[in-house]
Amino acid sequence: MPISALLVLVFYKLYINGKEVTRGELNTDWTNYAKIIYYDTYNIKPFINQPKNEVIVELADGWFNPAPLKLFGKYNLRETLTIGEPQVIADIYMKFADREMIIGSDADWQYCEGAYTFNNIYLGERLDMKLFRGDNTTDLLMPDWKNVVLSNGPEGRLVSSFIPKINHTLSLGAEHIHVVDEETFIIDFGAIVTGFIDLSITASENQRVELLYSEDVDENYELNTDSTLAGFVGKQVIEGVIIDGGIGSPARAEQKDAFECRSGKNHFINAFTCHSFRYVQLSGINIEQLNNVQALSVHTVLRENGGFYCSDPYINKLFEVAKRTKLNNIHSVFGDCARERFAYGGDIVALARSQVYQFDSAAIYKKTIFDFINDIRPCGGVTETAPFMGIKTNGVGGETGPLGWQLVLPYLIAIHYRHYGNVNLLAESLPFLEKQILSLEMRDFDDLVTCCLGDWGSRVHDMRNYKNGSPALHLTSACFYYYHLLIIAKICDDLGFKEKWLKYIGKANKIREKILSLYKNTDGSFADRSQTSFVFAIYFDLCDDIESSLNALIDLIKKEQNVITCGIFGQSFAYEIFHRYGHNELILEWLRVEAGFKKMLKNDASTLKEFFGDNLNGSNNHAMFSSYSSWLFQALGGITVAEEAVGADVILISPSFTDTINFVDCWHQTIRGRIECRWRRYKKGIELVIKVPFNLKKCTLKLPKVYQLNKQLPAPIDCDTYHHFYDITDAGEIKVLL
């Protein structure tokens, strides 16, 4: 059976005898190519003809050959990433009855210039249709083949790709076409997607078509491309300051494509770039020449492992919006938005719980952990993004990231172990976590707590000081450090290293004492008494009186007309604590308030924005505030993988029967099986149906004492002030009327 192993350091497509073999889009997996290079394998037997065959690999630039564009006016990817000219290694393995043979790429291979005259991950691509036949861009009319140049390439370890591939999952047709003039019109697809345009037109020879993409239009129905300018290049970020992208940069780093037409039918579909857009402006043709157009959603195809549906259509919309916005930004890494496309550790931490409840993230989390390990700095610290591209705002030093962003490595490892139970990954990662702690300990505590961006995205952030303007900055930084120590202590405990557990839990307790001595106020509040300060203090169990602190926090939220002003970390923690302590109606009020997500979703928006409020310098396709979806699973849906779980073997079922919801259907697929929790209100009461697999270590049902079960369940195994706890570990399926 012929098998091809293909290692390509740029985006590519593989063809054999004129037929495309490639399974995905925007191959290959992005990482630090100096440390690891992922290769793809294909069964090519269906494409082989005897006795002569032609193998063509179409190469683009991808992340390995980026343009010298200075993102934010200072970050040139060519200076920070492992880069080079497009290159490929291929082995074709042939097995016959009497022998085996490997045909490898070597000096006998040839190359030629292709039909793409330009391609860039941010700026788009340009294609000359006159250079090839039909729709196959490698079927060139006049190829000028030359001998290849051999190269050693980067030194990364070769590893077979193990994450799901990027692919096309959804097609959107035009909802509205706005004609600007005889040769310009704007197409509205009704929703923002990250992906490709698929366009068919009838044109004349040499006719040039240009496409400009945007997430938004202004009041005059002109494209507003500010939210997708790569690295803000060309944007006026404050009065009188326009970001310059450097020599050779476009005035505005917009998402653009262009193609030169042949006479007759022309079909253009993106291949080596992707755009975030709802609107596309076509120039150079009139509307009568348009035959067909679609927007294609393209992202890493993660299997859904959770579903949620309830009686409130708006809450259902929020669930779908979170799902869509997350997927829009996953392309072999957890990107933030089209403007950057970088995997920020802080964003990943804030969304980690919601991610694992919605999608099977075992493989991509494992890759993400490797990505951050591969970019650990010589001092042992973790970078702000992985792959590392230079950003280190308020970092700890030595090119490392801020404290909350460095949390991504221990936190993601802990989440992975809790849900997927990979003890080998836990053990392999521990030495890197210990080096990370040593790097943090090199800084004096008072200095260390200044090394963070804090609760990023808070509504009460001082916009005049974006680096240090987050609420309760030093408190949140200290809590992140405390969390580092708590997580590594638990990992040591999970691995049976008692002495190391004692060491790190001792360090954590000392940091806790410092937090209390430095940031606790005489009235029991913390730091600046902001919502963020209360959320962090409650989440990390720093308060003397939890109930009093919760009430103070609730009062603050009520004074803001039910608006939670916290940033990405504070909101993620808030969903946890309000469910834990039974204040779920407050979260529903927050999700429904006009000044919150409803404002984000005005004008039929289908994705979340980067910031609440005016979002002046933000993306319209950014998932960092989508952590509420974990609350939908855990609170309304009632399904929680417990903190002490290993491979989702300990489950808590604790649905919140909020007054304004009449029914909920929720499910979550764990590695041990499917869990379902459904409840509905009837005149006679609430019917609750639960299904759990039989291979759990422990499954507990938590119900309010106010409900009378009338011996429908065995006697409770425990209780607190307001709840009974029932052991349903081996129940399989239960149905009770409350």
CATH classification at residue 258 = 2.60.120.260
What is the Cα–Cα distance from 448 to 344, expressed in whole angstroms? 20
Burial class (CB in 10 A: 0-12, 13-18, 19+), 424: exposed
Amino acid 4: pLDDT: 67
Residues 215 and 275 in one domain: yes
Residues 209 and 288 in one domain: yes
Radius of gyration of the chain (CA): 27
Residues 451 and 545 in one domain: yes
Q: Give this prediction's pTM.
A: 0.97
Residue 478 lies in domain: 340-591
What is the Cα–Cα distance from 50 to 106, expressed in whole angstroms? 22
Residues 18 and 95 in one domain: yes
Last residue of a domain, one of 541, 567, 591: 591
Last residue of a domain, one of 273, 300, 327: 300
Q: Please choose, from the candidates 678, 675, 682, 686, the residue with its C-alpha nearest in 3D space to the C-alpha of residue 712.
A: 686
What is the Cα–Cα distance from 259 to 201, expressed in whole angstroms? 11
Residues 292 and 368 in one domain: no
Residues 291 and 417 in one domain: no
Residues 280 and 412 in one domain: no
Residues 359 and 376 in one domain: yes
Buried b / exposed e along 94-108 (16+ C-beta atoms within 10 A):
beeeeeeeeeebeee
Residues 112 and 220 in one domain: no
Q: How does pLDDT run across 336-365, given as a tens digit for each residue?
A: 999 999 999 999 999 999 999 999 999 999
- Three-state DSSP class for 605? coil
Amino acid 3: pLDDT: 67
CATH number where 447 lies:
1.50.10.10
E-only strand ranges, 225-300: 236-238, 241-242, 256-260, 264-269, 275-283, 290-300
- Residues of the chain below pLDDT 70: 1-5
Burial class (CB in 10 A: 0-12, 13-18, 19+), 710: exposed
Peptide bond preceding 66 in cis form (omega within 30 of 0) = no
Q: How does pLDDT run across 397-415, given as a tens digit for each residue?
A: 999 999 999 999 999 999 9
Which residue, chain included where needed, has tokens 């494992």? 366
Last residue of a domain, one of 570, 591, 612: 591
What is the Cα–Cα distance from 385 to 335, expressed in whole angstroms? 10
Residues 499 and 575 in one domain: yes
Residues 159 and 174 in one domain: no
Residues 210 and 160 in one domain: no
Amino acid 71: pLDDT: 98
CATH number where 686 lies:
2.60.420.10
The domain total for the chain is 4
What is the Cα–Cα distance from 437 to 427, expressed in whole angstroms? 16
Domain for residue 455, yes or no? yes
